[in-house]
Structure 1
């Protein structure tokens, strides 16, 4: 598989506090790499720096062969659709004022890819792909369950046709039975679309089930790493 993401000696500081201390890893297309560790260990700060939502204080972030840390915001703009986040709070990631169909359509409109004739059908297709009946597009986020709302958030991320999803605790707020369904959906989408996942999670049991490789973080540093399975092995 081609190399999708390469992070070298990443440093993130908040004033005198070093949240991420020379962290390095790589991720191939079609692979899931988990960052595991307790709260405050630097997982989410690493994710924000990878997405360039928080510019790192040192190190390199290579995405599809391009070094992101040297790019201006204008130069980053065409690359952002290819690396999309999915956040922990399924309700907080969607505007409560917008219907689900409008939330899913928003990336297409922002990126200038919205077509008034074919757009509604495309939104319905995206909802169906994540296991939601297209009629749910008429609802607001508060009318959906947590699992349904997270699926809508995934559909919104897929609208940009990304190659990388940064999944920041995407199932930690969900009930165990719902959690399994969302993880299975993510696994199916990865097999279908060849997506790379950077999976942020504090739950070791979830990580063991879902990730191909795992990096353990403690106090902003990589404490250990281990392999669960090789890319291309039997489905999860």
Structure 2
């Protein structure tokens, strides 16, 4: 069986600085692969290149067998719902002006999957799935805790039924007691949905607990597995 995600000799540069230098790895469906390393080692640049939010300078990114780096934005559009990010800052990833229900509904509307008949029920189901009472949909992000906001961000990521979640430091901004609950939620979702996780993290204790495999990054390169 082909891997869900295959990265080959990925290179990402910012001017004369090489942030990602020849990184290669594979990720299977239902697996959690962690990129672990200190700040500035290239983890987040790798994640952005995988999602094609930052186009790599060279290398290949294959998702479900399809090479992404040569595709135009128009060709990428139908594939993007299947690869979704969850970012580090639970408040910064949600607009302070929008209610939670609108944030979760937004990807459905952008992809033309929203209907006035079924949409509100879909949002309520997504919130319930991540452990939030659907009534929280009426609140704004500042009315929720950090953990609740991160759960709302995960609900939004799940709205388009992805196969891959790119988790960029998803619990580093949370208190330890809240962190465990979010990690347990992600584990349950993976078991239920067969999701692949690319897990970006600098905390070795979290990585050892959560990941199936760990790749250590230093200076833009994979140093060991």
Q: TM-score, normalised by structure 2?
A: 0.99
The structural deviation recorded for 1:118 is 1.0
> The residue matched to 1:190 in structure 2 has which SS?
helix
**Partner Cα distance (1:164, 1:127) in 2:** 19
Structure 1 residue runs of 5 or longer lacking an equivalent are 226-236
- Checking the alignment, whether the CA contact within 8 Å between 2:2 and 2:65 is kept in structure 1 is no
Structure 1 residues 146-194: Cα deviation after superposition (integer angstroms, max 9, x where no partner): 0000000000000011000000000000000000000000000000000
> The residue matched to 1:3 in structure 2 has which SS?
coil
2:87 aligns to what? 87
What is the count of residue pairs matched by the alignment? 225
Structure 2 residue runs of 5 or longer lacking an equivalent are none
- Checking the alignment, whether the CA contact within 8 Å between 1:37 and 1:216 is kept in structure 2 is yes
- Checking the alignment, whether the CA contact within 8 Å between 1:3 and 1:26 is kept in structure 2 is yes
1:211 aligns to what? 211
> The residue matched to 1:10 in structure 2 has which SS?
strand
**Partner Cα distance (1:138, 1:201) in 2:** 32
**Partner Cα distance (1:106, 1:90) in 2:** 16
> The residue matched to 1:18 in structure 2 has which SS?
strand
The structural deviation recorded for 1:115 is 1.2
Does residue 176 (structure 1) correspond to residue 176 (structure 2)? The answer is: yes
- Checking the alignment, whether the CA contact within 8 Å between 1:124 and 1:134 is kept in structure 2 is yes
The structural deviation recorded for 1:2 is 4.8
Show the 5 A alignment for 1:82-231.
Answer: 82-225=82-225
Structure 1 residues 16-52: Cα deviation after superposition (integer angstroms, max 9, x where no partner): 1100000000000000000000000000000000000
**Partner Cα distance (1:207, 1:11) in 2:** 24
**Partner Cα distance (2:193, 2:60) in 1:** 27
**Partner Cα distance (1:55, 1:119) in 2:** 33
Structure 1 residues 89-145: Cα deviation after superposition (integer angstroms, max 9, x where no partner): 000001000000000000000000001111101100000000000000000000000
> The residue matched to 1:94 in structure 2 has which SS?
coil
**Partner Cα distance (2:9, 2:186) in 1:** 29
- Checking the alignment, whether the CA contact within 8 Å between 1:2 and 1:29 is kept in structure 2 is no
2:24 aligns to what? 24
> The residue matched to 2:4 in structure 1 has which SS?
strand
1:34 aligns to what? 34
Q: TM-score, normalised by structure 1?
A: 0.95
1:232 aligns to what? none
